[in-house]
Amino acid sequence: KQEVTQIPAALSVPEGENLVLNCSFTDSAIYNLQWFRQDPGKGLTSLLLIQSSQREQTSGRLNASLDKSSGRSTLYIAASQPGDSATYLCAGQAGTALIFGKGTTLSVSS
Amino acid sequence: GAGVSQSPSNKVTEKGKDVELRCDPISGHTALYWYRQSLGQGLEFLIYFQGNSAPDKSGLPSDRFSAERTGGSVSTLTIQRTQQEDSAVYLCASSFSGGSNEQFFGPGTRLTVL
């Protein structure tokens, strides 16, 4: 059974810091890895999708990488801003649906 | 539409009542998913529709849960005889054609069973 783990569960940083969020998964058959952002009381906003043929994706200050052999993905956020404060979820897909980690709650202070 | 929409945004019901939750996927998306987000449980898959194929119901927690998708577009998730443990946020997502395509989520319906 696919399991997705996110470390750390919570992270507080001052504005301007670069940071890395970690995601690990147990099933090497994964063919998609998607990162989402969730603001309190809101739905999920898709940030980046990495397909199995890719190793990384970039969007603005965000960069996500995927290493299937080690079962890990990382989300790198450059020059963090208070507006980045949210819960970040990674989700792996090895079958029909996405399997989600429990998220990392990020707080960026000004 | 511009994004996935869900209604109602909030639903409060009494234990034992039936509820219906609605999802409008992004226009042109053939794949539709329902997920549930409970406190302390994270997000869990419930059901998946792809075109006219039989739905994947493997995530439904009990036979009190069912879902339909009419005309390949709008979907309704029905929970019969609601229990307090059904309280959660129910999220709908759609993607262009399922498989490895990016999933886009709606804002969710927060269900509270008293």
Note down pLDDT in tens along chain B; length 114 residues: 589 999 999 999 999 999 999 999 999 999 999 999 998 778 999 999 998 889 999 999 999 999 999 887 999 999 999 999 999 999 999 999 877 788 999 999 999 999
Alpha-carbon distance values, B16 to A47, B35, B84 (Å): 39, 22, 9
Query: Which residues of A fall within a CB distance of 8 Å from B98?
Result: 96
B42's CB contacts (< 8 A; 6+ apart) are A100, A101, A102, A103
pLDDT at A32 over 90: no
**A97 touching chain B per CB within 8 A:** yes
**Between B100, B102, B108, which is nearest A46 by CB?**
B102
pLDDT tens sequence across B25-51: 999 999 999 999 998 778 999 999 998
Query: Which residues of B fall within a CB distance of 8 Å from A32?
Result: 100
pLDDT tens sequence across B20-30: 999 999 999 99
Total Cβ atoms within 10 A of residue A41: 10
